[in-house]
């Protein structure tokens, strides 16, 4: 069997093994491949960076574990930026699964910033049902909208971070990383309509549905999937899982193109060789 003929008969399990090895290598040893910063990510970074240090920010994690590669990576990258500027972060979610995401987020941030104090620098309010109705209530009485307690049932009035928050206007920014509804659109119609800036973050499949909000000025920035997270990691100079994930994705694409080229070269060469005979 000629070399070109053998290219068409490679056991597909070998190809899968090569692919798995390349992905594992990129995840374990990120290459830091060049990545261009999109204007949407730059807008997010610039807006947060322009906020005064110590500002109060509401962070909503409206997604479940299936969206973590695209949205939790964004949460971590943005969180590092927020806490590096000594922002006060109020964590809350309109999704039942979001409470676990908030717990993971704050646990990671506490490792990155050991001096953070619960109730002073950050607080986890957990899941708040109601969607748009909850968001509308938060514009007139934030504590009442949140039932007046944090995720552990402790009164919000006992924590310095929430003592002076009467309505959504008493915060500098709301950030919603959402995998669906309720999510960004509910905030735009309520919190945003009352004048509080909003930044959104979505999975790749939802980008086109949220871009019009950014273009209309209803969002101050938009984080777009894992790539957006990798770009933000670059902006804050803190490479993380998104950077390694994009490395793995890029190498996978290159490898697939190489497989296709080799297969076609083998096919054409074998066909030409057969014609000569």
Its pTM stands at 0.87
Listed by start position, the domains of the chain span 3-29+247-276, 39-238
Q: Determine the straight-line distance between the first and last CA of the chain, rounded to whole angstroms.
A: 15
How much of the chain, in percent, has pLDDT values that exceed 70? 96
Nearest in space to 74 (alpha carbons), one of 211, 162, 202, 171: 202
Mean pLDDT across 5-33: 80
Q: What is the pLDDT of residue 247?
A: 77
* Average pLDDT value over all residues in the chain: 91
Give the pLDDT mean for 3-14. Answer: 74
DSSP assignment, residue 189?
I
Q: Is the pLDDT of residue 270 over 80?
A: no
- Flag whether pLDDT at 12 surpasses 90: no
Residue bearing the bigger pLDDT, 29 or 181:
181
Q: Is the pLDDT of residue 38 over 80?
A: yes
- Say what the pLDDT of residue 274 is: 59
Distance CA 25, CA 27 (A): 5
Q: Compute, in degrees rounded to 10, the torsion defined by CA atoms 212, 213, 219, 222.
A: -50
Say which range, 68-77, 83-92, 247-256, has the weakest mean pLDDT: 247-256
Question: Residue 275: what pLDDT?
Answer: 58
Which carries the bigger pLDDT value, residue 144 or residue 24?
Answer: 144
pLDDT band for position 113 (cuts 50, 70, 90): very high
- The pLDDT value given to residue 3: 67
pLDDT value for 178: 97
The mean per-residue pLDDT over the stretch 1-19 comes to 75
Contact 207, 184 (CB under 8 A): no
| Lowest-confidence region among 103-112, 126-135, 213-222, 245-254 | 245-254
- Asked whether 230 and 248 are in contact (CB, 8 A), the reply is no
**What SS3 class is residue 165?**
coil
> What percent of the chain shows pLDDT beyond 90?
72
> Predicted confidence band at 2 (pLDDT cuts at 50, 70, 90)?
low
Using an 8 Å Cβ cutoff, are 267 and 259 in contact? Answer: no
Please state, in angstroms and rounded to a whole number, the distance separating the CA atoms of residues 170 and 228: 28
Q: Which two tokens stand for residue 52?
A: 């005064």
pLDDT reported for residue 16: 85
* pLDDT over 70 (residue 276): no
Average the pLDDT over 167-172 and give the result: 97
How is domain 39-238 classified at the CATH fold level?
A: Rossmann fold (3.40.50)
> In the structure encoding, which two tokens stand for residue 114, read together?
């050991």
pLDDT at 57: 98
- With both helix axes pointing from N to C terminus, report the angle between 241-276 and 12-28 in degrees, rounded to the nearest 10: 150
- Tell me the two tokens of residue 227: 């790539």
């Amino acid at each position: 069997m000629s070399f070109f003929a053998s290219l068409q008969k490679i056991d597909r399990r070998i190809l899968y093994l090569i692919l798995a090895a390349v992905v594992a290598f990129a995840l374990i040893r990120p290459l830091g491949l060049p990545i261009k910063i999109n204007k949407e990510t730059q807008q997010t970074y610039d807006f947060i960076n322009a906020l005064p240090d110590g500002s109060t920010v509401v962070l909503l994690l409206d997604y479940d574990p299936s969206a973590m590669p695209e949205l939790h990576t964004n949460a971590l990258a943005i969180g590092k930026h927020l806490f590096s500027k000594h922002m006060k972060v109020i964590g809350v979610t309109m999704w039942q699964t979001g409470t676990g995401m908030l717990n993971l987020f704050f646990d990671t941030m506490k490792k990155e910033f050991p001096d953070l104090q619960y109730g002073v620098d950050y607080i986890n309010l957990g899941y708040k049902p109601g969607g748009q109705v909850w968001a509308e209530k938060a514009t007139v009485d934030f504590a009442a909208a949140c039932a007046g307690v944090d995720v552990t049932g402790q009164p919000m009035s006992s924590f310095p971070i929430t003592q002076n928050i009467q309505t959504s206007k008493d915060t500098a920014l709301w950030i919603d990383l959402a995998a669906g509804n309720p999510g960004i659109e509910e905030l735009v119609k309520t919190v945003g309509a009352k004048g509080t800036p909003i930044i959104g973050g979505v999975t790749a499949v939802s980008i086109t549905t949220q871009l019009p909000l950014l273009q209309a000025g209803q969002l101050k920035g938009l984080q777009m999937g894992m790539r957006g997270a990798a770009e933000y990691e670059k902006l804050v100079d803190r490479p993380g899982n998104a950077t390694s994930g994009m490395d793995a994705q890029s190498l996978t694409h290159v490898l697939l193109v190489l497989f296709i080229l080799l297969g076609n070269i083998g096919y054409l060469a074998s066909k030409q060789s057969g014609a000569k005979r």
